[in-house]
Structure 1
Amino acid sequence: MDLQERIQHIESRIQAACNRSNRNRKDVEIIAVTKYVSLKTAEKAVEFGCKHIGENRWPDAEEKVSVLATKSTMHFIGHLQSKKVKHIIGKFPYIHSIDRISLAKEIEKQALIQDVNVNCFIQVNVSGEESKYGVSPDELYSLAESLTPYKHLNVVGLMTMAPFEEDKEKTRPIFRELKRLKDRLNEKQIFNYNISHLSMGMSNDFEIAIEEGATFIRLGSQLVGKE
């Protein structure tokens, strides 16, 4: 399939998952992860309707940001080193990987300098895998409380990555737990607003994630290919 056909195919799968879970299709956004494809392919993805673009390394993303930032919404979806924050702020309206207070402090510092607000997701390592970043579920609430003084950092949701499973159903408890954590965070009223987003689900498991409440799914090769 070419790019436009892949996008249409993914769209039909998203709609089916929404139908199964009685969800409105408008409540699920696709982030096209373009880190392995050319700028030309990324531009075509935007042309074919992908409104959100995801990148996870600044040096690789710089050219795409310069071209696509006015045509789409940029999401930084990878692990973020504090020393790289100054490059990211002002170029990526969304950061999906807040996992420590030192990173949040640097984001606030740079956002204050640039006079911008940044939409952030707290990354939670629900699966407990050592290879994955993120706070543990037990640490989530204390981290959330520590973020409340930062006025330029707008926590909009939680993010997680499920293990790759041949049996996709095995990922369902991971996504279900992230939704429970989001609901519990709102019940605690740590922020003076409710967070509403769940960034979860990738190419292997996005349909399960949608059924469990994902509002942003992150799709790479299945959507945009590898060129």
Structure 2
Amino acid sequence: MNLEENLKKLYEDIELAKDHSNFCRDVKLIAVSKTHPVEMIKEFNKLGVTDFGENKVQELVSKIEDKEIENKLKNNKINFHLIGNLQTNKVKYIYDKVELIQSLDRIKLAKEIDKRAARDNIKVDCLVQINIGNEATKSGIKYEDTEDFIYELLDYKNINIKGLMAIAPNSPDETLLRKLFEKMNIMFENISSKNYVGVEMKYLSMGMSHDFKLAIEEGANMIRVGSKLFGNRNYN
């Protein structure tokens, strides 16, 4: 597999999608490295990719313990994002090590993140995850609860809300996907207009390997792409 070719093709597809979008937004790539070896992360980092997404805390911790990765983290040459469901008892392992927790979806989790961050006198950047397709198998708050949830989060002074994240249904129905991405963008702009203290709608994180072009066309400025870069996942 030629990782450089995969990355080049992805960048070309991103630019094409931006050309077809009505939104003039830069797009930040999160390379989803879950289940893939740390050597592939290092290879993509040499090619200029700085941000990587992991689903599981244990796997994320094992990767950032690699000496080369650890040094790059200290020098801000590489960043990790927790993009999967985060259990409260796992917060202590990663709250101060990730660029973004992209899956904040309940107050109990916010309390734990805030408590840990307050002890260290730091602020933790998070995205609010919305279950845009109302899927029972996916995490995230209900779309209609977004504003109330963010209002509750204002009490947690050691959390910075940096935007919204959603995982669309794995569907071939482009009309459905567009509609859901459009709804996310409407909420993103609605929350932006409120100017809440500690809330910055900087990132609209939506779109994966199968639907990132549609997501960008509908306003995404952060995409999470795995298989198009790394190839099929290895669950062994």
TM over 0.5: yes
Deviates more, 1:203-212 or 1:160-169: 160-169
Normalising to structure 1: TM-score of the pair?
0.93
Cα shift at 1:196: 2.6
Tell me, yes or no, if structure 1 residue 197 matches structure 2 residue 203: yes
Residue 179 of structure 2 is matched in structure 1 by: 173
Aligned residues: 226
The runs of 5 or more residues in structure 1 that have no matched partner are: none
Amino acid at match of 1:109: K
Query: Structure 2 matches for 1:83-162, cutoff 5 A?
Result: 83-162=89-168
Aligned residues of 2:161 and 2:200 also touching (Cα < 8 A)? no
Secondary structure at the counterpart of residue 95 of structure 1? strand
Aligned residues of 2:82 and 2:102 also touching (Cα < 8 A)? yes
Taking the aligned partners of 1:12 and 1:97, their CA distance within structure 2 comes to: 28
Q: 1:80 to 1:214 in 2, by over 3 A?
A: same
Secondary structure at the counterpart of residue 195 of structure 1? strand
Residue 17 of structure 1 is matched in structure 2 by: 17
Taking the aligned partners of 1:24 and 1:138, their CA distance within structure 2 comes to: 27
Deviates more, 1:100-109 or 1:132-141: 132-141
Tell me, yes or no, if structure 1 residue 220 matches structure 2 residue 226: yes
Aligned residues of 1:51 and 1:73 also touching (Cα < 8 A)? yes
Cα shift at 1:186: 2.7
Cα shift at 1:188: 3.6
Cα shift at 1:130: 1.0
Query: Structure 2 matches for 1:69-88, cutoff 5 A?
Result: 69-70=73-74, 71-88=77-94
Tell me, yes or no, if structure 1 residue 209 matches structure 2 residue 208: no
Cα shift at 1:59: 1.1
Normalising to structure 2: TM-score of the pair?
0.90
Tell me, yes or no, if structure 1 residue 58 matches structure 2 residue 57: yes
Amino acid at match of 2:59: D
